[in-house]
Structure 1
Amino acid sequence: MLKYLSIVLYLGLVKPSAARDLWRKDRLHNHPFPCGVMPGYRAYYHPHQNLAIDERMVASKARHGMKQYLKDKPTKWGFKLFVLADSKTGYTCDFNVYQGKALTPSGNGLSFDAVVNLLRVPYLGTGYHVFVDNFYTSTALFQHLHIHYGACGTIRENRIGFPKTTMNSLPKKAVRGDMRWIRDGPLLRAVTIPEPVLEYNKYMEGVDLSDALINYFSVTQKCRHWYKKLFLHFVDIAVVNSYILHKEMALEKQHKPITQKLFTAS
């Protein structure tokens, strides 16, 4: 905690454009003090190729303007997080707390900004496959992503930019399993089987896996103050990420993870 407070005081002296710049390693933005005091978890974990982005609810009954209601989630009321997770392990790579609007509005909508902001993690690089559900999927987002990432997701037909055409549409008496597609530049491959559907169902569960691991031994308690609730959830994230780091390192060395019995989902 004292190390954390020292960085808070340091932020009062140094004004970076973003707090994460304090951990950058390029010569122009090099700040040796923060990374020397508190190196981040992300410096020690490189996610696998498939990533999922989804919402997560931190349950809370607090009266606060940031509290949200999501009818389709097991937790209906609470604070909403946009989460980027490794689809294979459930490792939480990054997250943003939804505050009622996008942190840096681009004019392309909240769902667009939520994905783009999460993928700005410096260590990601290119070549990843990103899976999202129909809240995020849009032609504008996929056109933005396709240069550096593969992207897959379900889409709502009433989404702005969705092609208004009946070309190659399903017939009225289509049988279950029939598939049709249309192409808009590089946004869809020509496939003979619904491979994107299989990949979506396989890799979209990264955030759900992270949620499941968190719920096994959560430190969250009933709290009167909303900020304590969020803080305890962040502790949960750190604990699960630490376990995943340990497990990956143990498997790499062909050792049995010592915490194997704690998380039955592993």
Structure 2
Amino acid sequence: MILFYCRLNVNEIISHLEEDDDVFGADIFITPPDNWQNSDEDSGDEEFASINNLSRNQLLAEAELRVTRSSESRIVNEFVGYEKEVHSIPSTSSASQPPQPSSSTVTQPPPKKRRLEVTRKWRFVDIPEKPEKEYCEPDFLENLENPVQFFELFFDEEVFELLRSETEKNAIQKGKHAFRVTTTDIKHFIAILLLSGYNSVSRYRMYWEQRVDCSFPTVAALMSRNRFEDLLRYFHVADNNNLDPNDKFAKVRPLWKLLNARWLKNYPGDKNLSIDESMIPYYGKHGTKQHIHGKPIRFGYKYWSISTRLGYLIYGELYQGASTGNTHPELGVGASVVLDLISKLPQGSYSFYFDNFFTSLPLLEELQKMGHDGTGTIRANRTEKAPLKDPKEMKKTSRGSYHQCTDVLSNITLVRYNDNNIVTVASTQCGSEPISKVKRYCDKQKKDIDQPRCFVKYNKYMGGVDRLDQNVGCYRIGIRLKRWYWQLLMFPLNVAVNNAFQLYKISPASKKSNGTPHDLLSFTRDIVCTYFLMKNLVPSTSTISNPKSSLAVIKRVPDAVRLDEYGFPLRAFDLKMIVKNYFASQGRRVEKIFRNNIPGKDCKIMENESPATTTKKKRAQWTSQQMENAVKMVERGILSTYAAAVRYNIPRRTLCNHLASG
């Protein structure tokens, strides 16, 4: 006798549902036919099918029934079937048995994914708050002193060599065989890109113009415009001949892979991490371009990120579409993203915070099994029929009120809270106690209202990815191209500066710095200036070293300046006088080796010439009687040296000398 599980047909399932009064909900799944590969049967109208109008074939078809039974504070999901008893008849000869088809000729249908059986036991109780997870700051920060050293933790020699080799290879593939580039050129190129983030111009060619309204002589001295445009044209991070056809971001994958490894390696060790989606701006056409309504950047490439509270990006994964990333289909896409990101972290116990796109009760259970805690807002349709107050009923309550229930089997608590809106948080880290007070406007008055503990922690640690977006957006690289992958190359560069700045803030270098510590702007400028000075530049905005080029610049002045009051063009004599007056205004004279002291072909400018007129500082006027009175007032302790110097119009240094000499 053999016992095995047998599916019911649709007719038997309908009869079962009509007799059972405890059914809360039910789903019927019709199994495919045995010859599913060769079958031409129509599945029927699945969207508007009615259980009261089924064909004979549908009623007799085998099916699975998933029943949700409800009882007091308990929801049970189960499959319904019956055990069938079959008596086996032993065979007397192998010849009487029909030939068994080989496994190679018969293809079995793919296994159906059975939904997990979930049992919840809800009670109106709280869970104790778990202690904060402690961590130690990394030791390698003690040896770093300046912003460039922090930046080169991520953009090290290996990354610069990747950029150099792939850029040179791309130029050769496009026919420019004589093109050569060094890592120093790449550093200068990156310095100009970072400069465009905080000192931007409408067109990048304006950095090399010598007009009066726009002049960047340091950029022109660092790299010529043609050289910069060549690097801009051939800048690459991957070999076009060896791209992965299954990777939509194969052109930028080598750079992201290297930087992700370095971001993770130098991660400061914070145990409270936030996971969220973010956007890289892009307004062109591409298959992975996304639109997310309500985001500060609505159009662009989406990427999943895990970061610290202050905005240090630990790991970023570009989103390639719904067909990728669902590594745990039984948990969903959001949970799969969370589990994939936390698998990159070092071993340890963490507390994760995420929004309602990711949060689900099975995900929190999975995190508990891994030794982590999770807290996140959760959608109402994912609470698995928890006996929380209805949101419409919660809106009628006073601001600051909340309702809580806990699954005592999994120790997951749900707290529904009335703040600006009705929000539900699921957590395994803490519940509602201890209650905190926050300032809110109620009835046009600012009042203290209650806030559960899980909401306090969520608001404290969830904003890490938003802080990252804010920091990157402050000084985002301003030079743009029409290539679809350009922003995907510039974004990691901005993130590297941000991550270096986050490490600098917690390092001893921020406390040793003379004066005030760097903010993000001065930190970025320090990196740019360091790379600029690698070429021993001596910037001088008031020096024109080549008179011929200065004349060429003057010839390109606007017509409103170039023409005289009668509309006629200026003569060569007038242009020479303009140059002479310009040199005179700078305190420099022209050597008198030509007629009328007018610059010409043999013009020689006297360098390091001081201006002809200098103003002499006036000496203070005071009498001996004033000095005696001042000395007496200071010796008697009535006035200080500062006050006596001001009252008697005597330089303080002179007064101090008289006091010392007696």
Match of 1:113, SS state, is helix
In the alignment, structure 1 residue 177 sits paired with structure 2 residue 400 = yes
TM-score (norm 1): 0.77
Code of the aligned partner of 1:186: N
Code of the aligned partner of 1:140: P
- The question of whether the paired residues in 2 share the 8 Å contact of 1:213 and 1:263 is answered with no
How much does 1:167 deviate? Answer: 5.6
Q: Give aligned-pair identity as a percent.
A: 26
| The one of 500, 505, 525 aligned to 1:247 | 505
Which structure 2 residues correspond to residues 118-197 of structure 1 after superposition, within 5 A?
118-123=341-346, 125-147=347-369, 148-159=371-382, 162-166=383-387, 173-184=396-407, 185-188=410-413, 189-192=430-433, 193=435, 194-197=452-455
Instruction: After superposition, give the CA deviation of every residue in 1:15-59 in whole Å (9 maximum; x if it has no partner).
Output: xxxxxxxxxxxxxxxxxxx99xx9724322333121111111111
Instruction: After superposition, give the CA deviation of every residue in 1:119-177 in whole Å (9 maximum; x if it has no partner).
Output: 11242x23221111111111111111123211111111012xx2214366685642221
How much does 1:85 deviate? Answer: 0.7
* Alpha carbons of structure 1 residues 261 and 84: separation in structure 2 relative to 1, 3 Å: closer
Unpaired segments of 5 or more residues in structure 1? 13-33
* Alpha carbons of structure 1 residues 221 and 186: separation in structure 2 relative to 1, 3 Å: farther
| The one of 481, 485, 488 aligned to 1:223 | 481
Code of the aligned partner of 1:70: I
What is the CA–CA distance in structure 2 between the aligned matches of 1:186 and 1:234, rounded to whole Å?
39
Unpaired segments of 5 or more residues in structure 2? 1-159, 167-236, 243-256, 414-429, 436-451, 524-662
Aligned to 1:22: none
What is the CA–CA distance in structure 2 between the aligned matches of 1:94 and 1:190, rounded to whole Å?
29
Code of the aligned partner of 1:210: L
In the alignment, structure 1 residue 66 sits paired with structure 2 residue 288 = yes
Match of 1:74, SS state, is coil
C-alpha RMSD of matched pairs (Å): 3.0
Code of the aligned partner of 1:216: C
- The question of whether the paired residues in 1 share the 8 Å contact of 2:306 and 2:315 is answered with yes
In the alignment, structure 1 residue 237 sits paired with structure 2 residue 462 = no
What is the CA–CA distance in structure 2 between the aligned matches of 1:183 and 1:59, rounded to whole Å?
41
What is the CA–CA distance in structure 1 between the aligned matches of 2:261 and 2:458, rounded to whole Å?
34
- The question of whether the paired residues in 2 share the 8 Å contact of 1:61 and 1:78 is answered with yes
Structure scoring higher RCO (CA < 8 A, sep ≥ 6) equals: 1
In the alignment, structure 1 residue 2 sits paired with structure 2 residue 187 = no
In the alignment, structure 1 residue 81 sits paired with structure 2 residue 303 = yes
How much does 1:111 deviate? Answer: 0.8
What is the CA–CA distance in structure 1 between the aligned matches of 2:275 and 2:373, rounded to whole Å?
13
Which structure 2 residues correspond to residues 7-46 of structure 1 after superposition, within 5 A?
40-46=262-268
- The question of whether the paired residues in 1 share the 8 Å contact of 2:271 and 2:349 is answered with yes
- The question of whether the paired residues in 1 share the 8 Å contact of 2:431 and 2:453 is answered with no
How much does 1:110 deviate? Answer: 1.4
How much does 1:97 deviate? Answer: 0.6
| The one of 24, 42, 53 aligned to 2:275 | 53
How much does 1:66 deviate? Answer: 0.4
What is the CA–CA distance in structure 2 between the aligned matches of 1:213 and 1:207, rounded to whole Å?
10
| The one of 330, 333, 339 aligned to 1:116 | 339
How much does 1:254 deviate? Answer: 3.5
How much does 1:65 deviate? Answer: 0.8
* Alpha carbons of structure 1 residues 165 and 117: separation in structure 2 relative to 1, 3 Å: closer
| The one of 311, 314, 323 aligned to 1:93 | 314
Match of 1:210, SS state, is helix
What is the CA–CA distance in structure 1 between the aligned matches of 2:353 and 2:474, rounded to whole Å?
25
TM-score (norm 2): 0.33
* Alpha carbons of structure 1 residues 202 and 263: separation in structure 2 relative to 1, 3 Å: farther
Aligned to 1:211: 469
Match of 1:127, SS state, is coil
Code of the aligned partner of 2:343: R
* Alpha carbons of structure 1 residues 263 and 92: separation in structure 2 relative to 1, 3 Å: farther
Instruction: After superposition, give the CA deviation of every residue in 1:86-117 in whole Å (9 maximum; x if it has no partner).
Output: 01x21000111111033352102211111111
Code of the aligned partner of 2:283: K
- The question of whether the paired residues in 2 share the 8 Å contact of 1:82 and 1:95 is answered with yes
Code of the aligned partner of 1:127: S
What is the CA–CA distance in structure 2 between the aligned matches of 1:128 and 1:156, rounded to whole Å?
23
- The question of whether the paired residues in 2 share the 8 Å contact of 1:86 and 1:92 is answered with yes
What is the CA–CA distance in structure 2 between the aligned matches of 1:62 and 1:205, rounded to whole Å?
29
How much does 1:72 deviate? Answer: 1.3
What is the CA–CA distance in structure 2 between the aligned matches of 1:216 and 1:72, rounded to whole Å?
19
How much does 1:76 deviate? Answer: 0.9
What is the CA–CA distance in structure 1 between the aligned matches of 2:385 and 2:490, rounded to whole Å?
46
Name the larger-Rg structure.
2
- The question of whether the paired residues in 1 share the 8 Å contact of 2:480 and 2:486 is answered with no
